[in-house]
Amino acid sequence: MSFNLIKTCSATRARAGELVTPHGMVRTPVFLPVGSQATVKTLTPQEIKDIGFDMLLANAYHLYLRPGASVIEEMGGLHNFMGWKGTILTDSGGYQIFSLAGLRQINDEGVSFRSHIDGSQHFITPELAIKIQESLGADIIMVLDECPPSDADFNRVRRAMNRTHLWAARCRQTHRRNDQALFAIVQGGISPELRRKSAEYLTSLDFPGYAIGGLSLGEPKEVTWNITEETVALLPKDKPRYLMGVGSPEDIIEAVSRGIDMFDSALPTRVARNGALFTRQGRVNIENSIYRKMAEPVDPNCICYTCKNFSAAYLHHLFRCGELLALRLATLHNLSFISNLMSDVREAILNDTFASFKDDFLKNYKPTDEKMRISQKQKWLERN
């Protein structure tokens, strides 16, 4: 893997680059649709490609549990298994494992947990996390890290950070495939002091790229952006920076302005399946009665397959009736919205107009209410 930085915005830290991998070149900033179980829900790989994406994310935790990394390896690797010719990044599954709460135990050696599927017992070490991802064959893989809850106290966060550093070094030592890039994950909660220590230690190990983990977990957005900005300043300029778990349009814009190159989140596809569709004015709930007789598309300015062919009234009808097509059309729209947004962002950076683009976008886009967002996030975390 190589990363070529092409342009940095003069008024912000936004930057455009090219990420070259064994399965093609990816233009950054880039958003990765989430295909945790080797599929982006409701869509085919060709549809994802046609929308404009060259890279997606799969989850090693889910694929380890089923069908098993050995099965995928026997099928020729993850690209062949899921029919995706583009770039793939696999998350180690650390976040999913640590979300199991009462089903897992952790020490410096690794983490013991019970499967959320059948209750079977498993023990994952940093070494095994790397071997699993090497078997899957993704282009970019992640170290095993410990992600503490957003409300953890300082000592708890510090212990998690130190363990993340220990595991990162072991992952680095174990990794053998030279056709994969191994990224580190900076932890440290919402403590600037711990974030600085984490960035300093991990950059000393000279990884090909760096992710920022443990944010967007329910903390106020102002805190998210302060920590992101302070952490980015400590990361190498010539390597990609990846903010994990961020996918709302306004958050992508804010993070790009602070120098982030890569994003992933299940949010665009998850909210689509619940009838929430993106527009340049904000999210709309297609099940609201105002759409029952709307002959226009949900977003008249959108050129996606859904908006070019169907009225808002039809989508309203599909969701009200529980039709499966509703999920596909809404997902196509939301991912098309994100793909077009990333293209516009990149063009603005290359033209050195990103600062005004950001101002215009945020002036027109109405985000989800902050209190409601935090409440919904907490409920989602508890369910999962």
Residue type, 129: A
Q: How far apart are CA 53 and CA 336, in angstroms?
A: 9
Task: State whether residue 294 is helix, strand or coil.
Answer: coil
Q: Return phi, psi of residue 189, to 5°.
A: 60, -140
- Alpha-carbon Rg of the chain, whole angstroms? 20
Q: How far apart are CA 217 and CA 174, in angstroms?
A: 30
Longest dimension (CA), the chain: 61
Q: Return phi, psi of residue 377, to 5°.
A: -65, -45
Beta bridge pairs of residue 59: 91
Alpha helices in the chain (DSSP H): 45-51, 60-65, 69-74, 78-82, 94-98, 126-136, 154-174, 192-204, 221-232, 249-257, 267-273, 305-309, 312-321, 324-350, 354-364, 370-383
Given the residues 139, 145, 251, 264, the one annotated as active site: 264
Given the residues 54, 91, 139, 261, the one annotated as active site: 91
Catalytic site includes residue 91: yes
Which of 46, 34, 99, 90 shows the shortest CA–CA distance to 272?
Answer: 34
Catalytic site includes residue 299: no
Q: How far apart are CA 365 and CA 362, in angstroms?
A: 5
Displacement of CA 302 from its chain's centroid (Å) = 24
Displacement of CA 188 from its chain's centroid (Å) = 19
Looking at residue 235, what DSSP letter applies? S
Task: State whether residue 6 is helix, strand or coil.
Answer: strand
Task: State whether residue 291 is helix, strand or coil.
Answer: helix
Q: Provide CB contacts within 8 A for 201, sequence distance 6+.
A: 165
Residue 331, sorted as left (phi over 0), alpha (psi -120 to 50) or beta, turns out to be alpha
The pair of structure tokens assigned to 218 is 């329910």
> Active-site residue numbers?
91, 264
